Structure 1
Amino acid sequence: MLRLEVAADDLLRTRFAVSPLFELGGLLRRLAGLAPLGPFARLRPEYERLRTETELDAVVALHTARYGADFVGPPPAGMQQTAQDDLAAVRATPLDVARREIARALAEGPRVGAAVRETLHANDVVERLARALEAAWTALLAPDWPQLRAICETDVVHRAGRLGEGGWAAAFAGLHRRVRWHDGAIELAAPAQLPGADPGVRTVPSDGTGLLLVPSALIWPGVGAFMDPPWRRALVYPARGVGALWEPAPAGAGALGELVGRSRARLLLALEEPASTTQLAAGLGLAVGAVGDHLAVLRRSGLVRSARAGRSVLYRRTALGDALAAQHSALGSG
C-alpha cells in the first residue's frame, strides 16, 4: 500500500490537472498488449508503422505491467496543459533522472532487443525519446484528444462540486475503489490483480507543495501515482464517464430523439454531469455553434439550466430533463 501524506499546506496547494502525454502512455500500453485495446484497435496499423519508422519501441519498453517511467509522461502543470508543454518537460529531464528510470523499467520489463537497448543507453536518449513521443502523439492521439480532454474536464467539474459541498474528503471519495482518505493521508491499495505487487506499506511524507489530481481516460489498471523526486506528487485516477469510450455509438436516440430531435436528445443524455458547450461539442463530435443553439432550445423548454462557473458556463439537466433521460434509459434506445 502507498500512503501519500497530505498536510494542511498541501491541501492549500492541491489542484487538478490534465496530462496529454500520460494519456499517450496509456494508449501505448494498450497498443503494446498490456491492457485492453477496445475502440483503439483502429490505430494498430499506424502504431506498427511508427514502430518501423521511429524509435517508438524504446518508449514502449519504458511501460511495464507494474511500472512506467515518469519522465516520458511527467506530471502536468495544470488544466491548460498541452502536448507541447509535456514534450518540453520531457526534453528538460536531467540525464541522470532519465537513466535511473530507464534502468528500473529494463529491470522490471521483458528483455528488449539490441536496437532498443542502444537507444536507451545513448547519451541523447532524452531527445530521441521525445521525438518518438511527438510522432506518436501526432499520429495516434491528437485527433481523439478533444474528446478525451472533454471527459477529463467534465470529471474535474464534478470533483470541484464535491469539494464545494463537502471539502477535500468528499472530493477524494469515489476516485477509485483502491483509494481512500485516512488519517491525514491518501492511501492507495496495491493492485492485487498484478503478480508481484508489494504487500508492504510505503509512506511518502508531505513536502508542503500540494498534490496534483489528474483524471485520465486511458489509465490502466485503474489508478497511479507520481511519488519520486524530482517529480511533483500526483495521483492519477480514472475520469468519470470514461465508459462511454468503450460503448458503440448509438445509431439514434429512440423515442426521445423523435420528441426533441436526435442531436438535442444526445445532448440531454450527455448531461449526466454538468458540462460546458465546448466540452459537449468535443465529446459528441458536434460543432460548438450547433451545440449552443440546441442548448438554447433545451433551456427554453425547461429541460436544462445554466450557471456560470469561473470563466465557463455549465449546463445541467433540470428535474424534467432528468425524468426524460431516465425514461429513455428505462425503455432502451428504442
Structure 2
Amino acid sequence: MLRLEVDAADLLHTRFGVSPLFELGALLRKLAGLAPPGPFARLRPTYERLCAETDLDAVVALHTAHYGADFIGPPPPGMQQTWEADLAVVRETPLPVARREIAQALAQGPKIPDSVLRVLRSADVVDRLAAALESAWLALLAPDWPQLRAICESDVVHRAGRLGEGGWAAAFNGLHRDVRWHDGAIELGDRSAGARTVPSDGTGLLLVPSALIWPGVGAFADPPWRRALVYPARGVAALWEAPTGGGALAELVGRSRARLLVALEAPASTTQLAARLGLAVGAVGDHLAILRRAGLVRPARAGRSVLYRRTPLGDALAAQSPG
C-alpha cells in the first residue's frame, strides 16, 4: 500500500492536470499486452510497425507490470499541458535521472533483446526515446486526443463540483476503488500488503484524470517529480465498454440523443460532448434542446460554461441502455 500524506499546505496547492504524454504511455502498455487494449486493439498493426521502424520497443521496455519510468511520462503542471510541452520535458531530462529510472525498469521487467539494451545504454538515449515517442504520438494517439481530453476535462468539472459541495474529502471519494482518504493521507492499494509512506512536502498533490489508465490507478511518488495521483476519469468505462446508445433507448429518442444521454454520466458542456462523441457542436446543441424539453437533461451555469446533466428521469432511461 502507498500512503501519500496530505497536510493543510498540500490541500492549498493541490490541483488538477491532464497529460497527453501519460495517456500515450498508458496506450503503449495496452498495445504491448500489459493491460487490456479495449477499442484500441485496432492500432496494433501500426504499433508493431513503429516498433520495427523506430526505437519504440525501447520505450516499451521501460513499462513493466508494476512500474513505468517516470521521465517518459512525467506529471503535467496543470490542465493546459500540450503534447509539445510534454515532449520538451522529456528532452530536458538529465541523463543521470534517465539512467536511474531505466535501471529500475530493467530490474523489474523481463529480459530484453540486445538491440534494445544498446539503445537504452546509449549516450543519446533521452533524445532517441523522445523521437520514438513523437512518432508514436502522431501515428497512434493524436487523432483521438481531442475526444479523450474532453473526457478528462469533464471529470475535472465533476470533481470541482464535489469540492465545492463537500471539500477535498468529497472530491477524493470515488476516484477509484483502490483509493481512500484516511487519517490525513491518500492510500492506494491493499492495506494488508504493508505500507510505504511518502511524507508531505507542502507543494500539493496533482490529480490527473486519465481516459486510458482504466481500470487501474497510478501514482508519482519519487523525486524529482511532483507527487501525483492518476485515476480513471469518471464515465470512462463507457469508452472501453463501447456503448452505442442502441436498443430501446435509441428507438425512443434516436441514436445520437441516446449517445448524449449515456455520455452525461458526468456534467459536460456542449463543446465537451461534441469533442467526446465526434459530433458537430451545433448538432449537439440541437439534440440537447430536445432532451431538455423532454425533461431528460437540465442546464446549469458553472463559471463561464453551461453544463448539462441528466435529470432523474434521464438517469432512469440511460440505465436501460445496453453496454
Percent of residue pairs identical:
79
Question: Is structure 2 residue 227 aligned with structure 1 residue 227?
Answer: no
> Structure 1 residues 191 and 149 mapped into 2: Cα distance closer, same or farther (>3 Å)?
farther
> Structure 1 residues 134 and 229 mapped into 2: Cα distance closer, same or farther (>3 Å)?
same
Match of 2:256 in 1: 263
Query: Residue 303 of structure 2: which of 298, 310, 332 is its match?
Result: 310
> Structure 1 residues 316 and 327 mapped into 2: Cα distance closer, same or farther (>3 Å)?
closer
> 8 Å contact 1:226–1:232 — kept in the other structure?
yes
> 8 Å contact 2:297–2:314 — kept in the other structure?
no
Which stretch of structure 1 is more off in the superposition, 81-90 or 43-52? 81-90
Match of 2:54 in 1: 54
**Structure 1 residue 277 displacement after superposition:** 1.1
**Structure 1 residue 312 displacement after superposition:** 2.3
Match of 1:196 in 2: none
- The SS at the match of 1:117 is helix
> 8 Å contact 2:215–2:232 — kept in the other structure?
no
> 8 Å contact 1:35–1:220 — kept in the other structure?
no
Cα RMSD for the two superposed structures: 1.9
Question: Is structure 2 residue 274 aligned with structure 1 residue 281?
Answer: yes
> 8 Å contact 2:154–2:272 — kept in the other structure?
yes
Query: Residue 218 of structure 1: which of 190, 195, 212 is its match?
Result: 212
Structure 2 alignment gaps of length 5 or more: none
**Structure 1 residue 52 displacement after superposition:** 1.0
Alignment deviations for residues 178-220 of structure 1 (CA, whole Å, 9 cap, x no partner) = 211111111112499xxxxxx3321111111100001112216
Question: Is structure 2 residue 121 aligned with structure 1 residue 121?
Answer: yes
Alignment deviations for residues 34-57 of structure 1 (CA, whole Å, 9 cap, x no partner) = 111221111010001101111000
> 8 Å contact 1:17–1:214 — kept in the other structure?
yes
> 8 Å contact 2:296–2:313 — kept in the other structure?
no
Distance in 2 separating the partners of 1:264 and 1:42: 27
> Structure 1 residues 328 and 187 mapped into 2: Cα distance closer, same or farther (>3 Å)?
closer
Q: Which amino acid aligns with 1:316?
A: R
Distance in 2 separating the partners of 1:39 and 1:302: 33
Match of 1:43 in 2: 43
Q: Which amino acid aligns with 2:302?
A: A
Question: Is structure 2 residue 21 aligned with structure 1 residue 31?
Answer: no
Q: Which amino acid aligns with 1:219?
A: I
Match of 1:177 in 2: 177
TM-score for the superposition, normalised by structure 2: 0.93
- The SS at the match of 2:75 is coil
Distance in 1 separating the partners of 2:224 and 2:291: 49
Match of 1:107 in 2: 107
**Structure 1 residue 255 displacement after superposition:** 4.5
> Structure 1 residues 277 and 52 mapped into 2: Cα distance closer, same or farther (>3 Å)?
same
**Structure 1 residue 70 displacement after superposition:** 0.2
TM-score for the superposition, normalised by structure 1: 0.90
Match of 1:195 in 2: none
- The SS at the match of 1:155 is helix
Distance in 2 separating the partners of 1:247 and 1:114: 38
Q: Which amino acid aligns with 2:51?
A: R
- How many residue pairs match? The answer is 322
Alignment deviations for residues 47-98 of structure 1 (CA, whole Å, 9 cap, x no partner) = 0110111100000000001110000000011112121111011111111111
**Structure 1 residue 296 displacement after superposition:** 3.0
**Structure 1 residue 221 displacement after superposition:** 6.0
Distance in 1 separating the partners of 2:10 and 2:315: 40
> Structure 1 residues 305 and 286 mapped into 2: Cα distance closer, same or farther (>3 Å)?
same
> 8 Å contact 1:256–1:324 — kept in the other structure?
no
- The SS at the match of 1:275 is coil
- The SS at the match of 2:298 is strand
Q: Which amino acid aligns with 1:16?
A: F
Alignment deviations for residues 90-133 of structure 1 (CA, whole Å, 9 cap, x no partner) = 11111111110001001111111111111111111111100100
- The SS at the match of 2:4 is strand
**Structure 1 residue 308 displacement after superposition:** 2.4
Match of 1:202 in 2: 196
Match of 1:130 in 2: 130
Question: Is structure 2 residue 283 aligned with structure 1 residue 326?
Answer: no
Distance in 2 separating the partners of 1:175 and 1:131: 33
Q: Pairwise mapping of residues 75-154 of structure 1 onto structure 2 (< 5 A)?
A: 75-154=75-154
- The SS at the match of 2:43 is helix
Distance in 1 separating the partners of 2:80 and 2:118: 35
- The SS at the match of 2:309 is strand
> Structure 1 residues 97 and 221 mapped into 2: Cα distance closer, same or farther (>3 Å)?
farther
